[in-house]
Amino acid sequence: MWTIQFSVRLQNDEDPDDVFEIDVTEYMDEWPGLERWEGDVRDLGFRAMREMFVGGFLLRERALLRTWTHLDGDCRLVRRGRIPVTLTSTVGKVRVARQRLFCKRCKEWITPLNEELGLHQTGNGRATRGFREMLCLCGSKQPYRQAQHMLGMITQEPKVTSMKQVHLTVGREGSRLRTAEDEKYATVSSQLVKDVQDRNPLSEPIEGVLYIVVDGIWVRSYPGGGRWREGKVARICTEEREAVGRKGRQRVVDSRYVSSFKPVDVFSERVWVDAMRMGYGSRKQTIVLGDGARWIPSMRRRYFPKGVYVLDWFHLRRKVAQTFRRVFPEKSRRRVSWYLEIRSDLWEGRKEEAVDKLQQLHDEISAKACMKNPIAAQGRDALADLLGYLDNNWEGVIDYGRWRDAGHMVASSLVEKAGDLVVAKRQKKRQGMHWGRDGSEAVSALRTLWLNDDWEEYWKPSQRAA
């Protein structure tokens, strides 16, 4: 026979007689084996933690009641039973019975412990700050049903929350975060404008390059039906790198993520603020590296006039390859020849020549399309799309070979990775998902907070109301 006994004594040092004792006991017939023993220890620990959680509140309530007054000393308070409340915490659900008071003079009901638990505040439900943080972390990284299951495993209470509650809490906390960010960005933006106006011109710009990597990514909009909504993501970083591992891989040292599903102007303003904080205007060169989304060149011209726009080579090359697969559906030497020729022209910055060749091919195929040739019509539309893509990103099509030899990025995994980390992994790469605008914005806000290493600072008790 095994006896496991866990005893805890909580004491208010201001009143040594005010004590709350906890005694949790478990009996076992024999040694249960490693796996069972691990589970028993964990279960016992969580039971004890829940008891301690409740005990602390009761000690605090006793101290409150000894000195509690309503409006003034003339109020007559009488105790009228207890009101139970269930709190969802990081150790599971706990039930606290709060003392209820009645003021005979004012004819009002009072529950002193409500102030300590924050139950008068709106929007928090009856979940602790710590549990909401844990829920948002799980819910922003995986589907809500999986997050619900994980929270049950973590707290040792399978029904600690529901999928709907995960959904609602992530949306609510993400919206709070965005509101706080909007206020912060507005304040910082105004201060930056003032600082720039008051600042004397730098004698010499700081050496180095500031990269502003921008990506647009589409997610299916609720309730579906072919409707999509674009998320916009940016990663701002310097050219400084550090070695990682033995294979010579390099990692960005200092960077900031920015994301939004709101209009381009809102997103661009945020990118500008963070870029200014990271050195835009004071560095020798700024490069805006984009995936070709229609709004990126205009964003560069309006918000980063000192920067150079570069259309990411990986996206351009992929666009060309996709076009010729539609122009020549069956793999052939002609398809390969056209692809290699146009790719070579674009790589070496001969964009006028490339466009002339593409236009000639477009005119040739258009004549066949007029003869009701479906393959020719498909090729004509594909070439028109590519020509429009090049026209919209004309300033970003550069001499990639020379640019790379100068030590600049021309094709960066940062472009694709930014959108993948902030949006695609959670909202796009899981089939069957549909997203509302508020839900998309909330999840991307929480993921961006995590990627920027601001998570712990934001969720500090001093920063967040319980």
Asked if pLDDT for residue 407 goes beyond 80, the answer is yes
Q: Where are the domains of the chain?
A: 2-120, 129-200+444-466, 208-443
Q: Which of 33-42, 161-170, 189-198, 444-453 has the lowest mean pLDDT?
A: 189-198
- Give the pLDDT confidence score for residue 125 in this predicted structure: 57
Q: Which of 120-129, 131-140, 441-450 has the lowest mean pLDDT?
A: 120-129
- Rounded to an integer, the average pLDDT of 178-203 is 71
**Rounded CA gap, 352 and 357, in Å?**
9
Q: Which residue has the tokens 């050195």?
A: 279
- Give the pLDDT confidence score for residue 81 in this predicted structure: 92
Higher pLDDT, 161 or 368: 161
- Rounded to an integer, the average pLDDT of 392-403 is 94
Rounded to 10 degrees, what is the CA torsion of 69, 73, 75, 76? 90
Asked if pLDDT for residue 130 goes beyond 80, the answer is yes
Q: What is the pLDDT of residues 256-301, one digit of tens each?
A: 999 999 999 999 999 999 999 888 888 888 999 998 888 999 999 9
Q: What are phi and psi of 463, to 5 degrees?
A: -90, -25
- Give the pLDDT confidence score for residue 196 in this predicted structure: 53
132 — pLDDT class (breaks 50, 70, 90): very high
Per-chain mean pLDDT for the chain? 86
- Give the pLDDT confidence score for residue 13 in this predicted structure: 82
Q: Which one-letter DSSP state was computed for residue 202?
A: P
The C-alpha angle 293, 294, 298, rounded to 5 degrees, equals: 115
- Rounded to an integer, the average pLDDT of 114-123 is 67
Q: What is the pLDDT of residues 20-55, one digit of tens each?
A: 888 888 887 778 788 888 888 888 889 999 999 999
- Rounded to an integer, the average pLDDT of 99-110 is 90
Higher pLDDT, 174 or 7: 174
Q: Which residue has the tokens 């000690």?
A: 59
8 Å CB contact between 203 and 279: no
Coil, strand or helix at 206: strand
Asked if pLDDT for residue 439 goes beyond 60, the answer is yes
Coil, strand or helix at 175: helix
Asked if pLDDT for residue 191 goes beyond 80, the answer is no
Asked if pLDDT for residue 305 goes beyond 80, the answer is yes
88 has which bridge partners? 93, 127
Of 444, 343, 328, 454, the closest CA to residue 401 belongs to 343
- Give the pLDDT confidence score for residue 113 in this predicted structure: 86
Higher pLDDT, 187 or 171: 171
Higher pLDDT, 460 or 352: 352
Asked if pLDDT for residue 431 goes beyond 80, the answer is no
**Rounded CA gap, 78 and 56, in Å?**
23
- Give the pLDDT confidence score for residue 313 in this predicted structure: 94
- Give the pLDDT confidence score for residue 172 in this predicted structure: 94
**Rounded CA gap, 114 and 83, in Å?**
11
Tokens encoding 248: 């010579």
466 — pLDDT class (breaks 50, 70, 90): very low
Tokens encoding 30: 């024999």
Asked if pLDDT for residue 342 goes beyond 80, the answer is yes
